[in-house]
């Protein structure tokens, strides 16, 4: 992007400072899925446009990314997209069915099906995400940093085998047992695509990256260490290597492995700056396990957003007190759910900022 306009100067960099372990003015807060169905203006826009049309049209993706920032005093934005754009770019059809979620009508059933995937050219089919990121950096006018993201290999493999979301991921888990060599091939293929994709996002202007290993919750500790950790490490190492070789500044990275509180120490050794926690993890125990040099993110139970405002305020304050002001980014322990009252977001954000 030789002739590209420089990006506006960042005014609120508390998120990036927290990620790097620097002093913050206030505890930064953002919310996973902060753009989405709990916002009436999102629902309104979705009536006019199909989900993936929103993802693929930079103006629409930016509009939706901006929606929560107009309402709440958040410290970060996250580009509107979905983890399933990678399976799409690899040649699988992905549909978004109302009330169901993502559906992949021709999933990967047997190892032979891996031949249907089209890694060549996948990155160019994702260029619309880069376009949205670059546009969003300008539209933000430096107000807060912009986070880019990806699904992690095991989580993407799960959706691609199951043909959508699954309560058990049993077909994908059966693959790990029955086709271990092909599982490695599959996970490596996804890892390669992910590294390309994250590099592209950084070049486009992403100031921080989050890797969602949301389906870690279906694996035992042993399986997590075998089927997630090596690929998560490869993503971080290869991305840093590539950016460094090209003299592109490395951005902070967050690993959110839902349900992997059994392996916090192992997660802290993978090179990520930030470890995201779900609500099953105690903040003080997490800090003891990861040590002082990792930033923690999380971890209010999304269900607490349905409590009355005083209770929510108290729970949030208590959480922030437990984590403390240094090396901490406040968030929920998973995505905000569609029926959440708007006022709960206001209470949460204000309580985080006032806690310390």
Q: Tell me if 214 contacts ligand 1CP by CB under 6 A.
A: yes
Q: Can you tell me which of 13, 19, 29, 33 binds ligand 1CP, judged by CB under 6 A? A: 33
Assess contact for 67 and 111: CB atoms under 8 A: no
Task: Scan residues 85-104 and list those touching ligand 1CP (CB under 6 A).
Answer: 96, 101-102
Q: What is the closest distance, in whole angstroms, from the C-beta atom of residue 247 to ligand 1CP in the complex?
A: 29
User: Which stretch in 80-88, 132-140, 236-244, 262-270 sits in contact with ligand 1CP by CB under 6 A?
Assistant: 80-88
Q: Tell me if 35 contacts ligand 1CP by CB under 6 A.
A: yes
Q: Tell me if 83 contacts ligand 1CP by CB under 6 A.
A: yes
* Total residues at interface with ligand 1CP (CB under 6 A): 21
Q: What is the CA 353 to chain-centroid distance, rounded? A: 22
Catalytic, 82? Answer: yes
Residue closer to ligand 1CP by CB (options 70, 245) is: 70
Cα Rg of the chain (Å, integer): 19
Q: Tell me if 21 contacts ligand 1CP by CB under 6 A.
A: no
**CA-to-CA distance for 190 and 212, rounded, in angstroms?**
13
**CA-to-CA distance for 169 and 115, rounded, in angstroms?**
22
Token pair of 288, please?
């003891």
Catalytic, 33? Answer: yes
Sign of the dihedral through C-alpha 304, 310, 316, 321:
negative
Residue 69 CA: distances (Å) to CA of 28, 64, 104, 110, 157: 14, 10, 32, 44, 32
Task: Scan residues 129-158 and list those touching ligand 1CP (CB under 6 A).
Answer: 149
Q: What is the closest distance, in whole angstroms, from the C-beta atom of residue 177 to ligand 1CP in the complex?
A: 22
Q: Which of 17, 38, 56, 159 is catalytic?
A: 159
Q: Which of 17, 33, 56, 234 is catalytic?
A: 33
Task: Scan residues 273-332 and list those touching ligand 1CP (CB under 6 A).
Answer: none
Task: Return the residue nearest ligand 1CP (CB atom).
Answer: 165
Assess contact for 264 and 290: CB atoms under 8 A: yes
Residue closer to ligand 1CP by CB (options 103, 356) is: 103
Residues composing the chain? 356
Residue closer to ligand 1CP by CB (options 74, 287) is: 74
Residue closer to ligand 1CP by CB (options 155, 295) is: 155
Catalytic, 56? Answer: no
Question: In terms of Cα–Cα distance, which of 178, 156, 169 is closest to 219?
Answer: 169
Q: Which of 37, 71, 143, 242 is catalytic?
A: 37
- Tell me the H-state helices in 145-281: 153-162, 170-178, 180-204, 221-227, 229-245, 264-268
Q: Can you tell me which of 13, 17, 36, 262 binds ligand 1CP, judged by CB under 6 A? A: 36
| Degrees to nearest 5, angle at CA 313 with 307 and 314 | 95
Q: Tell me if 45 contacts ligand 1CP by CB under 6 A.
A: no
**CA-to-CA distance for 349 and 27, rounded, in angstroms?**
10
Pseudo-torsion of CA 350, 315, 279, 341, nearest 10°?
-60
Q: Residue numbers of the site for ligand 1CP (CB under 6 A)?
A: 32-37, 46, 51, 78, 80, 82-84, 96, 101-102, 149, 165, 212, 214, 335
Q: Catalogue the active-site residues.
A: 33, 37, 46, 82, 159
């Amino acid at each position: 992007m030789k002739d590209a306009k420089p990006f506006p100067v960042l005014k609120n960099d508390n998120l990036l400072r927290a990620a790097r372990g620097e002093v913050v003015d206030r505890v930064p807060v953002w919310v996973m899925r902060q753009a989405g169905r709990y916002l009436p203006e999102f629902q309104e826009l979705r009536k006019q446009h199909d989900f993936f049309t929103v993802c693929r049209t930079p103006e629409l993706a930016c509009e939706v990314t901006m929606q929560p920032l107009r309402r709440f005093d958040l410290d970060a934005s996250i580009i509107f997209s979905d983890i399933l754009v990678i399976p799409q770019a690899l040649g699988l059809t992905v549909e978004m069915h109302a009330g169901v979620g993502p559906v992949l009508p021709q999933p990967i059933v047997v190892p032979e099906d891996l031949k249907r995937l089209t890694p060549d050219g996948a990155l160019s089919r994702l260029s619309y995400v880069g376009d949205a990121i670059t546009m969003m950096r300008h539209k933000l006018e430096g107000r807060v940093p912009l986070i880019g993201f990806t699904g992690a290999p095991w989580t993407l493999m799960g959706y691609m085998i199951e043909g959508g979301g699954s309560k058990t991921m049993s077909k994908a888990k059966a693959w790990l047992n029955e086709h271990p060599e092909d599982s490695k091939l599959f996970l490596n293929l996804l890892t390669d695509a992910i590294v390309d994709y994250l590099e592209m996002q950084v070049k486009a202007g992403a100031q921080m990256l989050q890797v969602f290993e949301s389906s870690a919750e279906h694996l035992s500790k042993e399986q997590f260490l075998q089927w997630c950790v090596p690929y998560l490490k490869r993503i971080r190492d290869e991305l840093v290597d590539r950016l460094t070789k090209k003299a592109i500044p490395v951005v902070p990275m967050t690993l959110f492995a839902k349900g992997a509180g059994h392996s916090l120490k192992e997660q802290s050794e993978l090179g990520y700056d930030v470890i995201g926690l779900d609500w099953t993890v105690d903040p003080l125990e997490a800090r003891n396990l990861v040590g002082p040099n990792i930033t923690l993110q999380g971890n209010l139970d999304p269900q607490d957003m349905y409590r009355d405002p005083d209770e929510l305020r108290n729970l949030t304050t208590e959480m922030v007190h437990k984590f403390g002001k240094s090396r901490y980014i406040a968030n929920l322990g998973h995505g905000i759910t569609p029926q959440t009252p708007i006022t709960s977001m206001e209470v949460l954000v204000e309580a985080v900022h006032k806690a310390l």
